[in-house]
Structure 1
């Protein structure tokens, strides 16, 4: 007679229910991380590393490479996912990168447009990887491959700390560089020479409110987005093999 399997009697749950590996999810996340790394490496090879690393675009893609790389490893090994505030924050930051680029910097109708000619060669490749491929990939992964319901309203305010820190960094960096330095301010809406500190702070308030609205949208979508199919377990007969 086979004794029943009991939970909570000194037997770890993972000893009864084996971890579920998700190789396809792992592969998708690895591709997103690879896209981010590729775009960053191209930019570093084409430009000055200190200047390249000063851009929010590159910094947010470094975060994507780390978080999606770790998430890919966990999915491959069947380990628990990263905390929701980490994956949600990564989505917010890379969405800021994509939205600001396409709606503001690459939009000729924008007051802060940076369209100065069509990019070509490796510049065009890195531009698409960092501003389009990774934002879309992270959004799809979050919407379709992660479990919903883990985000809290307070996270929206927490996620604003990094943009605020970046604002302080960009202004401090610009103040330390001599006037006329190339890319003294990484983005035109942060250019103190053009707008003055009052104008830059005004721009920061507008963008900050927009980022907060985006963060609230992510928290709201977390309540209604679809739940990935849950893995099913069954107890096989002894002839069929071990517990599945």
Structure 2
């Protein structure tokens, strides 16, 4: 009988540089998902109530409304991922959303809360009475949701995910909004009450030179807050408890 070829043997398995105990199976986070769903409902309620109180075309043109609508979409997606133990959303998306809603709160409380005439997205000429409809909506959109977004980032999100290289891209939307706001004002008839939505971007009252100067200062504030968020993200402790000392962070 002729010699048969040798049966090839299985190659030996190489030892893994990562021990099996270091791999942690992804686990759902129902409490995180519930908090994010509540944030989604809050932002959605604020936007919906504002639409019911004013003209939808005007209301939807405000940066505050757009940033809160974006927050609602991102939060419901993040809640689903936390509930199903999937990877978190890209930090470029969550970081941009955090920046926009944070600036929404800062601009309102620093520049708009005590203006004369009072700031209103519905065209009201009198300051809203405390704990009445318009006042509650303003607080939901400019205080509650920004605070909830910051709490989610500080308490429920792993640190070190934001990066300085992302900050330039985050400024594209505020720049696009500036172009939209000024273009919208040019298309409306002079003297229209809602021609320019924010007093610091009111070309009719201030002229283009002062308006663009305000826009530049606001853009620098956006960038400064973005850099601050990145720095804090790399300096803050990890609020998420790890399984073991060598487990992968998921």
Structure 1-normalised TM-score? Answer: 0.84
Which residue matches 1:239? none
Runs of 4+ in 1 over 6 A off after TM superposition: none
Which residue matches 1:242? none
Query: How many residues are paired up?
Result: 220
Task: Measure, in 1, the Cα distance between the counterparts of 2:219 and 2:65.
Answer: 19
8 Å Cα contact 2:154/2:239 also seen in 1: no
Which residue matches 1:99? 106
Which residue matches 2:127? 117
Matched, 1:157 2:168: yes
Q: Say which of 35, 39, 48 aligns to 2:46.
A: 39
Task: Measure, in 1, the Cα distance between the counterparts of 2:112 and 2:226.
Answer: 21
**Displacement of 1:18:** 4.3
**Displacement of 1:75:** 0.5
- The two structures, once aligned, show a CA RMSD in angstroms of 2.2
Which residue matches 1:50? 57
8 Å Cα contact 1:173/1:184 also seen in 2: yes
**Displacement of 1:218:** 0.4
8 Å Cα contact 1:112/1:189 also seen in 2: no
For structure 1, the residue ranges without an aligned partner over 5 or more in a row are: 1-5, 234-244
Q: Say which of 190, 195, 211 aligns to 1:200.
A: 211
Specify the SS of the correspondent of 1:81. coil
Task: Measure, in 2, the Cα distance between the counterparts of 1:204 and 1:83.
Answer: 29
**Displacement of 1:225:** 1.4
Structure label with greater radius of gyration: 2
8 Å Cα contact 2:33/2:83 also seen in 1: yes
8 Å Cα contact 1:87/1:142 also seen in 2: no
Q: Say which of 209, 230, 249 aligns to 1:219.
A: 230
Matched, 1:186 2:197: yes
Compared CA separation, residues 105 and 112, structure 1 to 2 (3 A):
farther
Structure 2-normalised TM-score? Answer: 0.82
Compared CA separation, residues 123 and 113, structure 1 to 2 (3 A):
closer
Matched, 1:66 2:73: yes
